[in-house]
Structure 1
Amino acid sequence: MADIQKVSVALTGGQLAALKAAVEAGEYATTSEVVREAIRDWQLKRELRQEDIKRLRRLWDEGKASGPAEPFNVEQTLAAAEARLKDVDAE
């Protein structure tokens, strides 16, 4: 079993009531179990957020390395998009 250490956490009355209600409903054996699951969820979200940040930084760097932006022509872009949609509809 993992090294278990105790820590003190301050919760609002509503948060504590929700923890106790989950245990009383039989969803969890203890309030500690609820908190451990919440921390696992937080860790996963944190890892995903860090991966997103890395991906955005990579895309940013690729964009910067691709050179200066070209002028954006709305009419040309819309015409090209409409042509692609017609091709898709024709299939």
Structure 2
Amino acid sequence: MTEKISISLTDEHAQLLQDAVKSGDYASSSEVIREALREWKARHLLARLWDEGLASGPAERDWSMRDIKADARRRKASA
């Protein structure tokens, strides 16, 4: 399902949109906007998860990155 929405862009943003399509990287302006929204959504999710991690307090263990990776590999192997 899709919905048509009309938006206003600055001349600079409109030119970026047109250039992205003209370059052949995107088939349409809609594709550019959809990808931008997906990236915006992912960035906001990552920021929320980061904030939740900080709010959860210090880790119970003082693990190094090597420890974290080894633990992840053990979990993956046992799954």
Relative to the length of structure 2, the TM-score reads 0.69
Q: Equivalences for 1:18-37 in 2 at 5 Å?
A: 18-37=16-35
CA distance in 2, matches of 1:11, 1:55: 36
Deviation digits for residues 11-31 of structure 1, max 9, x if unmatched? 100100110011111110000
Supply the RMSD in Å over aligned alpha carbons: 1.5
Unaligned runs of 5+ in 1: 63-91
Larger radius of gyration: 1
Matched, 1:9 2:7: yes
**Which residue, 13, 36, 39 being the options, matches 1:38?**
36
The one-letter code matched in structure 2 to 1:38 is A
Quote the offset at 1:46 in angstroms: 0.5
Relative to the length of structure 1, the TM-score reads 0.61
- Give the number of equivalent residue pairs: 59
The one-letter code matched in structure 2 to 1:58 is S
The list of structure 1 runs, each at least 4 consecutive aligned residues, that deviate by more than 2 angstroms after superposition, is none
- Structure with greater contact order relative to length (CA < 8 Å, sep ≥ 6): 2
Partner of 2:46: 48
Unaligned runs of 5+ in 2: 59-79
